[in-house]
Amino acid sequence: MNILIAGATGNTGKRLANQFSENGHHVIAMHREDSDTSGLPNDAELRQADLTDLPNNVCDGADVVVFAAGSGGDTDDEMTDKIDRNGAISLIDKAVASPAKRFVMLSSVGAGDPDANSDLTHYLKAKHDADEYLKAAGIDHAIIRPVALTDEDGTRDILLGDEVDKTAKAHRGDVAAVLARAATQDELLGRTVLMQSL
């Protein structure tokens, strides 16, 4: 399949791009002009685009679109909205208008019901809004909500669903593996699932 990854040069996106490539899929790696693309697979198709101003044809040629981007933990509320809410919603719109058949969203634990007292409230509200928009967009989708991320690769020993310990950890390699499953298999279609590494 041809799979477009938004956030392909990020810590999770790079792992995902390499997993897809290793499994024989064609990676379309969306990246900003100043992004370091050196960690991407050699056969990846590089597609320069900015989530704050996406061209209408950004999803052209993609069978599946994966949103694995993020504004980062140090950005202000305005940039969080531009990337994590508005950028995601814009990409969903572009995917719906394209031949793409599926959209996979990397969300976050807490996005379903953002805690008003959390330091992450604004971020989680942005993720919540994007998730809800995707659910109503009319495209096959899956929404993955990992618990706190680590930069470890993990062992692919993963727990999905309501039994997830929300105080546990999710290794980025494991997160990428779940996103890959959601993109290429049907078991997670139409679902919003919590995940953790074991």
How many Cα atoms sit within 13 Å of 67 on the Cβ side?
33
What does the pLDDT read at residue 75? 80
How many Å apart are CA 95 and CA 108, to the nearest integer? 21
Residues in the chain, pLDDT under 50: none
How many Å apart are CA 51 and CA 76, to the nearest integer? 16
What does the pLDDT read at residue 72? 72
How many Cα atoms sit within 13 Å of 118 on the Cβ side?
13
CATH architecture observed for domain 2-197? 3-Layer(aba) Sandwich (3.40)
- pLDDT tens digit string along 44-86? 999 999 999 999 999 999 999 999 998 876 788 999 999 999 9
How many Å apart are CA 115 and CA 110, to the nearest integer? 7
Under DSSP, is residue 160 helix (H, G, I), strand (E, B) or coil? strand
What does the pLDDT read at residue 73? 64
Phi-psi region of 195 (alpha: psi -120 to 50; beta: other; left: phi over 0): beta
